Chains A and B, each alone.
Chain A
Amino acid sequence: MTTAEPPTQAAPSRPSTQMGALLALIAVGVGVAVILGLYGALHDPTGQAVNIGGFSSGLYAKAWLTTGAFVLALVQITTALIMFGKIKVANQPPWIGTLHRWSGRIAVLLTVPVAVHCLYALGFQTAQPRVLFHSLFGCIFYGAFVTKMLVLSRKGLPGWALPVIGGVVFTALVGLWFSAGLWVFTTQGFKI
């Protein structure tokens, strides 16, 4: 999915081609979301998967990893607002960009084991509203993430593209956490 993009043009492109490029990147993200959803819906969930040690159960491992990603997502939205000047900070520290990039990388890497377990062991499910929304958010999150990474790596796209897609990524992650991580803690007890 990362090799499908043509090399960036050095010359500034016309608005219509910019929009076309943006739409193409969005299409790649939508494709990723749909493929994840189809895989989750069509394969037979195994009901079990390899687990991460150190937690009382696989369920809590997932809940805590998602919670870690959620906290880092709050860092993400805060640093993004600072970088875009929406939160005024006197003498904006030069490391804000680095903090934004690395908190984002760690956040998304934390979600990967959770997502693999969800997709492999449980699949795309629709039986309850919570589970349906969680499945949808999961697909949207990775699709939007792919689009955002691709948008970041291209110059000359409309300025609103990055905040909007970043907002989608953030919203999906918050939705994921509310529909599963927080749900585990509130219904089954708050523990490691």
Chain B
Amino acid sequence: MKNRGPILTLVAVAVLGLVLFLVNLSAAPGTPPPADAAAGAAATTTASAEPVAAATPFPAQASYTGKTEGKAPPEAAIAITVKGEKASSYVCDGKSVETWYNGTAKDGKLELKGKGDNKLTGTLNGDTITGEVSAGGKTWKFTAKLAQKPAGLYRASGGGTTTGWIRQPDGAVTGLMSNGAPAPPLDTATAQSVEGDTAVVN
């Protein structure tokens, strides 16, 4: 004799899960989050690492600089520039890890891709972007804040290598050449200032 109760329970759970999942899917595209969802998301963002939505639309053109979080490898610098709906970014620890990203900046959300599987996602909240970036096979959380020139993202190409520099608002510069060599000192007069629509992934 077979006991049907547990199977019915199982089916009920599966059906409820599926229905809720489909409701999510059908509500997803382009729907602004309900007010309470945004509030919950904001509360989560402040206290935990969960990436949630509380997006501020991007300005027409802006640069953001900041650092990745976490201990391994030591924190890396990050710069994100936005122009229109396009975004460029560079992550660099100044020693061995550096990756360029291109992608979109829409409705306060960043979706960027670098070489290989590397990618960057982020959400603008006020003047601060929080998100996740993968580079060199690892993923970090990061925070970047609105920065004014000469802070920002710089780049120079030549001799088969590309050099990237991130200048923080306090003047600190993190840079690396694509062949792994240390970057020469940044000269903001000669280096190319990377904007959101600069193609940086090659």
Residue pairs across A and B with Cβ atoms less than 8 A apart, 6 shown, are A47-B51, A48-B38, A57-B40, A58-B37, A149-B10, A150-B7
Contacts of A51 in B (CB 8 A): 34, 36-37, 40
B75 to chain A, nearest CB (A): 14
Contacts of A2 in B (CB 8 A): 7, 10-11, 14
B28 sits at the interface (CB 8 A): yes
User: By the criterion CB–CB under 8 Å, are B40 and A59 in contact?
Assistant: yes
B13, B47, B48, B139: which contacts A145 (Cβ < 8 A)? Answer: B13
A48, A112, A125, A155: which contacts B49 (Cβ < 8 A)? Answer: A125
B6 sits at the interface (CB 8 A): yes
Interface size on A, residues (CB 8 A): 47
User: By the criterion CB–CB under 8 Å, are B36 and A152 in contact?
Assistant: no
A91 sits at the interface (CB 8 A): no
A109 sits at the interface (CB 8 A): yes
User: By the criterion CB–CB under 8 Å, are B20 and A112 in contact?
Assistant: yes
B23 sits at the interface (CB 8 A): yes
B184 sits at the interface (CB 8 A): no
Contacts of A59 in B (CB 8 A): 40-41, 43-44
B123 sits at the interface (CB 8 A): yes
Contacts of A104 in B (CB 8 A): 9
- Give the size range of B's interface with the partner: 35 or more
B73 sits at the interface (CB 8 A): no
Binary interface encoding of chain B residues 73-92 relative to chain A, with 1 for a CB under 8 A from any of its CBs, else 0: 00000000000000000000
Closest to A108 in B: B13
- Known contacts A51-B37, A57-B36; decide if A127 and B70 are in contact (CB<8 Å): yes
- Binding site secondary structure of chain B: helix
Binary interface encoding of chain A residues 119-153 relative to chain B, with 1 for a CB under 8 A from any of its CBs, else 0: 01110010110010000000000000110111011
User: By the criterion CB–CB under 8 Å, are B6 and A153 in contact?
Assistant: yes
Contacts of B7 in A (CB 8 A): 2, 149-150, 153
Alpha-carbon distance between A27 and B50 when the two chains are bound, in angstroms: 31
A46 sits at the interface (CB 8 A): yes
4 closest cross-chain pairs (CB), A and B: A57-B40, A58-B40, A152-B6, A149-B6
User: By the criterion CB–CB under 8 Å, are B37 and A49 in contact?
Assistant: yes
- Residues on A facing B (Cβ under 8 Å): 1-2, 7-8, 44-51, 53, 55-61, 101, 104-105, 108-109, 112-113, 115-116, 120-122, 125, 127-128, 131, 145-146, 148-150, 152-155, 187-188
- Residues on B facing A (Cβ under 8 Å): 1-7, 9-14, 16-17, 20-21, 23-24, 27-28, 33-34, 36-41, 43-44, 47-53, 70, 109, 121, 123, 139, 141
B45 to chain A, nearest CB (A): 10
User: By the criterion CB–CB under 8 Å, are A127 and B141 in contact?
Assistant: yes
A91 to chain B, nearest CB (A): 25
User: By the criterion CB–CB under 8 Å, are B20 and A116 in contact?
Assistant: yes
Alpha-carbon distance between A148 and B3 when the two chains are bound, in angstroms: 13
B13, B52, B70, B121: which contacts A109 (Cβ < 8 A)? Answer: B13
B20 to chain A, nearest CB (A): 4
Contacts of B44 in A (CB 8 A): 59
User: By the criterion CB–CB under 8 Å, are A48 and B52 in contact?
Assistant: yes
Contacts of A105 in B (CB 8 A): 9, 12
